[in-house]
Structure 1
């Protein structure tokens, strides 16, 4: 998850650059100065304080949702089912008008489909900053998933359904481009959506910065990563955990400038974490069937088992999209595993919240 959260903002920074360039703001292009300003401003807000950051994040998200609503009303009158299937099929196995790049293309599309929902699993990282985590976390995740499902499906269908799948397949800012395709290059609505779409990217960028800082802080506090990474400042924000991944993300964005490549790296980290999350749920249900739970997954291990299979398929799909990026990311993941195996597992902090359950479980086993 940490790999996912460190790289995803870098991908988003490149898309922010694309939207800024499309708007012609300050004469800036989609390049490193945009990425630097993006990271500096929003990491800086998080450094100032979590309350301020979350309130601003909520406000930006509302603006982004309004942009999606405007896009829906602007594109519905121009929707044509034929536009969804205007990509000429290639000679891949299973290629057709419905699957123009065949079965392998559909599988590779999983990588980008996951992007609709990427980092929703970061919601629980706010557990220590909520009043009642047992009540608030499930509500927040379920509501968030439903909003993503509805808005993602609408954009997936309406944007190419109005402007054409072929035209939208290479776009860095598809929402305003789709509106311009149907309303003309001078469309005021497209400009409004472009600005609001930029707000949406900022909201994603903002929330994932929050997620990576809390994830890195928790791993460091428990001893899985060097302890100095969990240092906090005068405003009780984990400043090192904010700055270190931010620096890594900026370097990746500036060095590659390729949002698609960075998406594949982030999604590889996400899919591996999904495999482990689902597997952990199954193991926990078997080993601790009577453990008190504030929330129970509908369908239990059957639901999780299906999700586990889909997650494994998604991991494989990342190699179909970009074998080099997936392999490099897998190498980084193995380095983290080696660090854990040879060093950090021998230096875990027993009284950290993350380790309390394991410590109590060990004590209970010893007593019996």
Structure 2
């Protein structure tokens, strides 16, 4: 009976397969591209609560968390190279309920990040075309890049690598152009949450700024969701992850310091286009450098937007294939071999978020800030359960093949775990209403999870999880 069921499942798998086409450079492009929009906007909201100097300490703490997390997470990604990523690791470690928690959290992270980036794309275009409504431009971005992702992962990954390289070049250009006006006094003035000297109140602002420091690096773990489409995941993914996080840490520090030292940083702390506004201090509003930055800046936003669409679609696909979401979402396009229904489903939610100002703009925060915070809640919960899964699998499956082992185990994953727990606690304290809404999402999802057990019983077998 069991073999019969297995054979039925195997027959279904052919309708749910992804093509293995991605090389190491393409995976590096995805790793950096997923995140690089975080260098262009979002992080400066952290200045509003922590100040420049306070935010430096917050950002360094979060950078350490991400570096240790990625070195640890890579062990899971290479051991279980499955499109579900964190969902697959938690399910193997903790069973269906653990898989649900990780999958739902990752889904929130990857579905809510794109609308924030799309709004920033709209803001950048609005600088060039004042008559263009940013929200309409954001919706247009969704339509264009959903279509590109549907056409094929090879084309999508090649485009991702191209725009990522251009985005890195543009950030280096930004730092070079503003460097003649670099004044450390600009960066340090009022740098401790508006004060010139450190006080105990500075800690309050530093903890409140955690979500925006996380935005610097959010979604790099999305490479795991392209694992099934990698040619040699056990070799290429570690290289992509390690070089990717090092690239991003260097760029984050450089962009933040050069932007803050260009002029009055307080005027950059609550906007979606801090880099063009910082450059205005140096070259003026009508400089050719200014227009170049706006256009090239779009490449950074597009790289992340495009890459995260790839990420959320694979997460929806994997959850649907395993019976955690409706099975029709796991269908692969017969010609392009991409999860087209999953791409469209995430896009519908993202576009709805863009046009939900009255629902999402609350607690004195902008629409973008609240969407960013919601996405970060999903990420942090996923980081916690992923590190717990790493420890669990080390104990329960010591003989599992691990092409890449977390260095300095258990210290690296333990630091990443503790830092993530501290971050989650701080975020709940400072964003109670967003935390409540996030919890409602998880509870409603869990009710659906309990009511759809039959879906998981008849879902296609996952050979990568049944070794």
Specify if TM > 0.5. Answer: yes
Contact 2:387–2:413 (8 Å) recurs in 1: yes
Give secondary structure in 2 for the equivalent of 1:181.
helix
Deviation at 1:87, TM superposition (A): 3.1
Q: Quick one: distance in 1 between partners of 2:368 and 2:304?
A: 14
Aligned to 1:236: 337
Is the aligned partner of 1:166 residue 2:266?
yes
* CA contact 2:113–2:371 (8 Å) conserved in 1: yes
Q: Please tell me whether the aligned partners of residues 89 and 100 of structure 1 are also in contact (alpha carbons under 8 angstroms).
A: no
**Secondary structure, counterpart of 2:261 in structure 1:** helix
Contact conserved, 2:193 with 2:205, CA < 8 A, in 1?
Answer: no
Deviation of 1:100 after TM superposition, in Å, equals: 9.4
The equivalent of 1:126 in structure 2 is: 226
**Is 1:264–1:321's contact at 8 Å kept on the other side of the alignment?**
no
* Corresponding residue to 2:171 among 43, 46, 68: 68
Q: Within the alignment, does 1:248 sit opposite 2:346 as a pair?
A: no
Aligned equivalents of 1:202, 1:167: Cα separation in 2: 25
The answer for the alignment partner of 2:204 in structure 1 is: 104
CA contact (8 A) 1:4 1:270 kept: yes
1:101 positional shift: 5.7
Q: Match of 2:4?
A: none
Q: 1:312 aligns with which of 395, 400, 421?
A: 421
Distance in 1 (CA, whole Å) between partners of 2:458 and 2:247 is 38
Deviation at 1:295, TM superposition (A): 0.4
Consecutive unaligned residues in structure 1, runs of 5 or more: 361-368
**Do 2:118 and 2:138's aligned partners in 1 also have CA atoms closer than 8 Å?**
yes
Q: How many residues align?
A: 353
- Residue in 2 aligned with 1:282? 391
Conserved 8 A contact 2:188-2:196 = no
Matched, 1:20 2:125: yes
Report the TM-score, using the length of structure 1 for normalisation. Answer: 0.90
Following the alignment from structure 2 to structure 1, what is the Cα–Cα distance between the partners of residues 203 and 312?
A: 34
1:181 equivalent among 281, 287, 293: 281
Q: Residues 304 and 345 of structure 1: is their aligned pair in 2 closer, same or farther, counting only changes over 3 Å?
A: farther
Query: Structure 1 residues 90, 212: CA separation in 2 closer, same or farther (over 3 Å shift)?
Result: closer
The 5 A counterparts of 1:1-368 are 1-24=106-129, 27-31=131-135, 33-87=136-190, 97-98=197-198, 102-234=202-334, 235-256=336-357, 258-344=367-453, 347-348=456-457, 351-353=460-462, 356-357=464-465, 359-360=466-467
TM-score (norm 2): 0.72
Say if 2:324 and 2:455, in contact at 8 Å, map to a contact too.
Answer: no
Contact 1:99 1:106 (C-alpha < 8 Å) held by counterparts: no
2:321–2:460 contact (8 Å) kept in structure 1: no
Distance in 1 of aligned mates of 2:220 and 2:206: 23
Shift of 1:288: 2.1
Residue by residue, what CA displacement relative to the aligned partner does 1:37-62 show, whole Å, maximum 9, x if unpaired?
11111001111111111111111111
Contact 2:181 2:282 in 1 (8 A): yes
Question: SS of the counterpart of 1:295?
Answer: coil
Displacement after TM superposition at 1:191 (Å): 1.5
Distance 1:98 1:40, change over 3 A: farther
Structure 2 spans left out of the alignment, 5+ residues? 1-105, 362-366
The alpha carbon displacement at 1:346 in A equals 6.9
